[in-house]
């Protein structure tokens, strides 16, 4: 039960917004595909090698632990807004407030001014 509840929050929280739809389709597919494969292979493996089949799962956990400890950045105590910066995206930290700019003369100018400051 503990393993199966991890994939959904991770794929929705880690990936940026434009990739969440793809990650939420690929991740469950991979999870369910592996469940089908393991449910077909496990009875045969347990019948032929017995308890040693559990060493396959133990070795996978050890390899994944080493991978997570060496290759993935620490995100404990970080906000979701910090995730983009941690994973290499460009983050705008300071935006010029509209109070310091000249007031727009029309609604169209206000939209253009906002769009310009948002891209900077």
What rounded mean pLDDT belongs to the chain? 75
Q: What percent of the chain has pLDDT over 90?
A: 22
In a domain, 85, yes or no: no
Looking at the fold, whether 65 and 94 belong to one and the same domain comes out as no
Residue 3 has pLDDT above 60, yes or no: no
Q: What percent of the chain has pLDDT over 70?
A: 66
In a domain, 110, yes or no: yes
Position 2 confidence tier, pLDDT thresholds 50, 70, 90: very low
Domain hosting residue 52, numbered range = 1-78
Q: Provide the 10 A C-beta neighbour count for residue 52.
A: 10
Q: Looking at per-residue confidence, does 47 or 13 come out higher?
A: 47
In a domain, 16, yes or no: yes
CB proximity list for 27: less than 8 A, separation 6 or greater: 7, 8, 10, 11
In a domain, 98, yes or no: yes
Q: Provide the 10 A C-beta neighbour count for residue 42.
A: 13
Q: What is the pTM of this model?
A: 0.53
Q: Quick one: tokens of 4?
A: 């199966």
Q: Looking at per-residue confidence, does 54 or 110 come out higher?
A: 54
Give how many domains the chain has, as a whole number. 2
Picking from 2, 27, 1, the residue whose alpha carbon sits closest to that of residue 12 is 27
Looking at the fold, whether 55 and 111 belong to one and the same domain comes out as no
**pLDDT tens column, 15-71:** 777 888 888 888 888 888 988 999 999 999 999 999 999 999 999 889 988 988 888
In a domain, 84, yes or no: no
pLDDT at 1: 37
In a domain, 83, yes or no: no
In a domain, 43, yes or no: yes
In a domain, 70, yes or no: yes
Looking at the fold, whether 71 and 100 belong to one and the same domain comes out as no
């Amino acid at each position: 039960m503990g393993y199966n509840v991890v994939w959904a929050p991770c794929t929705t929280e880690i990936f940026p917004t434009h990739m969440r739809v793809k990650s939420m389709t690929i991740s469950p597919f991979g999870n369910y595909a592996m469940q089908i494969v393991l449910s077909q292979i496990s009875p045969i493996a347990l019948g032929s090698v017995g308890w040693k089949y559990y060493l396959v799962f133990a070795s996978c956990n050890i390899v994944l632990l080493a991978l997570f400890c060496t290759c993935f950045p620490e995100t404990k105590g970080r906000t979701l807004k910090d995730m983009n910066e941690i994973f290499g995206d460009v983050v705008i930290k300071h935006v010029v407030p509209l109070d310091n700019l000249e007031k727009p003369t029309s609604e169209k100018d206000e939209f253009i001014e906002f769009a310009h400051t948002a891209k900077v």
